[in-house]
Each structure stands twice: as structure tokens, then as C-alpha cells.
A and B are shown apart, each in its own frame.
Chain A
């Protein structure tokens, strides 16, 4: 007993007395010099996959790849009705000096970052709160309703709620004294928040839904092992649940940021980019250039830059999450 105590007092020794399985007890496996086989059998043919996807690819080429190249073509020319003139990349070279283009990017990033932060935060919180509740199914169904509404209609609904003369929120916020004399959509400070809120209102349920699906897949045994290891429920959430949610959160963030970069229906209805240029995020500016001023060449150039940035961001996101959650088989 004393020797054990003495052993344990020594740092780094004693606790585990390692008993080796002696080599000479084990029979040495027979080893022969192996030569690589002369021929390897071919891998199973997957050629039929080609024929399975061919029709879809052809259709896609027709309805999406053709317009894509047409857009590149337009971006390189001055496009007017009846005339298409090569302009030495002027559509692109003029972009950096266009303050509304640069400002559009900044606003877009600001808008998307706010939307994402709020949606992910609230969405995950709601999912965790709902998960395992007795009436989970009914509550989730109710929660999903904003998503079912067409964005344009949602924009109209919120337009009335925000309205400076009869809007309910306007009345509420002004009575409480938070809002100044200007209306919500009329003031540059609150207009951006207004379009963020509508996006959050409409799309948080999607995040909740995706996260709930992810939560169902969090392995119970890992949670239990971690509890026994000494984790509090909060630590357990951070160290086991969250890492298991990364893949679904990646999908959620991808979906939402791409939508933020594309869909402008409700923002267009609510503010149309105003007041001034306070909410003129890049896609709204793009819309104006192309379809208000009919500068189709410039519009195409802006659209191309938007597309490239979207793709790059998407790839970075995928990399980041891959690092956090490496999948190896």
C-alpha cells in the first residue's frame, strides 16, 4: 500500500503500471516479400451515370448556361435597343469609381451580416427551445407560417405595419418614444433595420426547421458520455450539440446569404432602396441600372461581379466548416 502511495506521489509515474505483452510470446507472422500484382482489376463501371444525368444537363445548358454566357457577352458591350457595341471593358473599369456600386456592396454586406446573425441566433435558440416539447409538431407548423407567404406579400404586409400614418408598429414605437418624428421607412437609421427585420421574420423559421432536423440527429450517447465526463447542459450544448449542428448550419448560412444576395422583393416593396440610398443594397442598385435606366451592359457587369463574389464566399464557407467538421470515411 505504501509503495503504491509513493508511486502515485511521483509525477508522471506509477498510476498505470504498463505490462507489456512480451514479443517472444507472440508468434512472429510469416513475412514474404510481396510484389505488386501485375494488373489491377478495373473499378466498377459508372458510365451509365452519364446517361442518367445527360438529359438534365442538356436542359440546364439550354435554360441556364446559355443566358449565363449571354450575360457575359452583354457585360462586355454597350447594349442599347437595336445596338450592341464593344466598349473595351468600360462596364467593368468604371465600376470602382461608381460610389453607389461600392456603397451597394457595403450595404449588402451590412444587411446580410445582420440578417444572418439574427436568423441563426434566434433560429437555433427556437429550435433548442422547441426540441422535445410535447406540442413540438404543432408549434413548428405555426412557426413556419411566415415562410409560406410570398415575399412580395410579406413586403406589403410589413409596409402597412411600418406605415407612417396608420402603421401599427409606427404607432407603437412612437407612443413608447423610441421613434423620432420621422416614419420607420422614412428615416435612414431605421429603414435598414426594417428590411432586416422582415427578412428575419420570414426566414428564421427555415433556420429553426433545419436546426431541429439537425438536433434530432445529435447522437444521444455522445451527450450522455459528455455529461458523465462532467459537462453541464450548457457546456454539453457547446461541445457536443453544436459541432454536430455545423453541417446543417452550413447549409442554412449558405442558403440564407445567397438569398440575401439575390432576393430583393420585400426590400424593393418596402423602401425601393431609399430613403436616399440608405438601403440601396447592391442587388437593388443592379435592378435600377438594368431595368430603370436600361443600361443592360452595365447591369450585366454588376451582376457578374455579384455572382463571382457569391461563389467565392460560398467556397470559403464550405472550407471553414470543413475545417471545423472534417468528414473522413
Chain B
């Protein structure tokens, strides 16, 4: 259990910066998720925390104590590696027992812990095998097992369940979350899967190209993204973006697009006023904040043509062409529109966002 502070940290490989001026504070006992696309520097950050990679600039502190120069074994962290990193000449049991053995635990206790972890991860029947004889998902579970047999100060998970099947992944999400709650151990969890980050983390650090974009609760990241990039990265299906201009008539501010003119709320009008709107505005609205209908409603709406319907079990996603652009709308399965039909879309004005077209910064 430890508070992790990452302060002005850089990781530079040769001349290529992979992590740029990173500042993250991870509270004692909390679950922090680092979320970002491939190559954004997530693993580099983890490796610096674990002590496997030199910290090019800045410092990392555990409970206020600088750990930059501490050897990995003295940091008391447990890590699950992206590529499993199992010991091929050891059995699954020995792999999982390794951290306890290295710390001189009694054989009885090692056995008890390993068996408990194996049971949790549903790999009890694999304990005598060697890693080469396991599937990718099984290897990954052994790697998780090796980390959780110990009670370290800090867990580092680097995409630990990326190779499991969907059902097991959902199961493991719950287990890892529960384990963290039970132990109260601080967890830093790297993933590129926003669903994982959303469902497990207390706070999410969204990274892009080595730069921290936003550090906030899942709810806040989803509802109040700091910029268009975060808004587009988080959420499935992704947020729709439409380039608009603004028009002011009769005291009403409206978004203007070739296919619609829709008024904003007075509060939003004020925020737009305050921003530099000469640059143009990008309207962002999530598929579930849109309502589609075949009949024109009294409200101001967007007029489009249905491109394709996708059935997703309980819901339906409708792709609609709005002039040159395409938006996706989430609706119920009894929506009767067919491909090619003209349709009308209204937006929930409390849930839409406006971004500066130039900088991507959120206006509201």
C-alpha cells in the first residue's frame, strides 16, 4: 500500500521521447488505469515504476520517498508483463512460487498461497505443466498468479488480460477488482481497452503520444473529456464529430451544418461566446445522446439518410449519412428504418460537446 507520485517524468530512448513530462499522483490503495492507444508510452511508464527502465528525467516517489535509484527487488512491487515473461524451465507451480521463494517464505505457506491463486485463476489443473505447454490465455493467468501470490506494496498490471477470451476477461476484470478491494493494495493497470479502464479504475490517466491528456475518474473522462481526442478515444461506439459554424439570430446561437441548424442552450451560448470561435467549432455527440426517428419532430433536427443498420443484440446502431459526414446512432431494436430511408435525428443538448476545431480543446 503506497502512494505513487510520478513527477515531470520523461523517458527518452536514444533521441526518441516515449513519455513526455508525465505527472500522475496515484493515491494509497487506489486503482489507477493508464489508458491509451498502442505505442503511447504506457509500458515505458510501468517499466520506470518497476525499476526496469532508467528514468530519463523527473522522479518517481513512493510515499514521498524518491525511488529512482532503487533496484527493482527493493521496490516491493509485483508486475504482470505484457508478454507473460514466464520461466520456461520451471513448472507453472514453480513459476508462481518464485516470488515467495526468493523472499524466503516457508514451503507450507508458499504451497497454500500458490494453490489459492491457482484456484482463483482456474489453473489448478495446470500446475505441473511447463509454460510451453500452455495456451496464451493460460500463460497470462499464470503471470497474474505469479504477481498475486505475494502481498506487495504496489501491483503493476501491463495489459494482463488482453489475450483471454471475452467471457474469461469479464470474469477476470471482476476478480482483479475484487482482489484489489480486498487487499487494499495500490494498483496501476495499463490497458488500451477503454472498457477495462472504465469498469475497473478509480481514476484513469489517458495518454496519447507520450503525453498525459486527462487524469480523472471514469465518469469524468467519459462525461467531461478535456479534448476531442479523449472524447473520441473513450466510449464505444465512438463519439460522432461534426464540423459546424455558429450563427446568432434573434438572441439564439445555433450550430450550422449543411444538414441542420440547431440551437444551443443559453449556458452553452455563453461558453461559446467566451471561446475563440472564429476558429470554427467541432460538435461532438455520443451515439446514445442521439435519437433517431423516421418522422420529423417539432424540435430542430438533423436530416440524413440511413446508410446501414447493425444489430448488437439488445441495441441497434444505425449509421446515418449527414451530407458528406456519417454519424452513428444508438437506438432500440424495434426501430423500423431501412437502408436508404430519410430519417431525422435529434440530439440531447445536455450531453453534447463542443470542441475548438483548431486545438481540440473542450468548450463544453
Contact = CB atoms under 8 A, between A and B. Distances in A.
A229 B52 contact: no
A227 B120 contact: no
Nearest to A12: B112
Interface in B301-331: none
Q: How large is the interface on A (under 10, 10 to 19, 20 to 34, 35 or more residues)?
A: 20 to 34
B73 A227 contact: yes
B99 A229 contact: yes
Nearest to B120: A16
B102 A16 contact: no
B116 A15 contact: yes
A17 B117 CA distance: 10
B58 to A, nearest CB: 21
A228 B75 CA distance: 8
B34 interface: no
Interface in B72-108: 72-73, 77-79, 81, 83-89, 98-99, 102-103
Q: How large is the interface on B (under 10, 10 to 19, 20 to 34, 35 or more residues)?
A: 35 or more
B77 A18 contact: no
Interface stretch (B171-179, B194-202, B253-261, B346-354): B171-179
Contacts of B51: 227-228
B279 interface: no
B102 A230 contact: yes
B116 A224 contact: no
Contact of B85 (A16, A221, A231, A329): A221
Contacts of A325: 89
B252 interface: no
Contacts of B87: 222, 225-226, 239-240, 243
Given A12-B112, A221-B85, A230 B103 contact: yes
Contacts of B167: 21
A224 B174 CA distance: 28
Interface in A227-264: 227-232, 235, 239-240, 243-244
B141 to A, nearest CB: 13
Contact of A227 (B72, B84, B113, B146): B72
Contacts of B102: 226, 229-231, 235
A56 B98 CA distance: 48
Contacts of A17: 178, 182
A12 B111 CA distance: 10
A231 to B, nearest CB: 5
Contacts of B98: 226, 229, 239
Contacts of A328: 130, 132-133
A228 B78 contact: yes
Contact of B146 (A11, A229, A244): A229
B119 interface: yes
B50 interface: yes
Contacts of A227: 51-52, 71-73
Contacts of A230: 73, 99, 102-103
Contacts of B79: 225, 228
Contacts of B146: 225, 229
Q: Chain B at the A interface: mostly helix, strand, loop or mixed?
A: helix
A231 B120 contact: no
Given A19-B175, A224-B85, A231 B132 contact: no
Given A229-B102, A230-B102, A224 B182 contact: no
Nearest to B178: A17
A222 B120 CA distance: 24
Contacts of A239: 87, 98
B114 to A, nearest CB: 11
A11 B81 contact: no
A4 interface: yes
Given A17-B182, A329-B132, A232 B117 contact: no
Nearest to A1: B184
A200 to B, nearest CB: 29
Nearest to A225: B85
Nearest to B52: A224
Contacts of A16: 116-117, 119-120, 148, 179
Interface string B123-151: 00000001011000000000000101000
A243 B131 CA distance: 15
B52 A228 contact: yes
A225 B120 contact: no
A177 interface: no
A18 B133 CA distance: 25
B132 A222 contact: no
Given A17-B182, A230-B102, A231-B73, A225 B81 contact: yes
A221 B43 CA distance: 13
A326 interface: yes
A329 B130 CA distance: 10
Contacts of B120: 16, 18
27 contacts: A15-B182, A17-B178, A18-B120, A19-B171, A19-B178, A219-B85, A222-B85, A222-B86, A222-B87, A224-B85, A225-B85, A225-B86, A226-B87, A227-B51, A228-B50, A228-B52, A228-B73, A229-B73, A229-B98, A229-B102, A230-B99, A231-B102, A232-B71, A239-B98, A243-B87, A326-B89, A329-B132
Given A17-B182, A226-B98, 4 more contacts: A15-B182, A222-B87, A228-B79, A328-B130
Interface of B: 47, 50-52, 71-73, 77-79, 81, 83-89, 98-99, 102-103, 112-113, 116-117, 119-120, 130, 132-133, 146, 148, 167, 171, 174-175, 178-179, 182-183
5 residue pairs, one from A and one from B, having the closest CB atoms: A221-B85, A225-B85, A229-B99, A230-B102, A227-B72
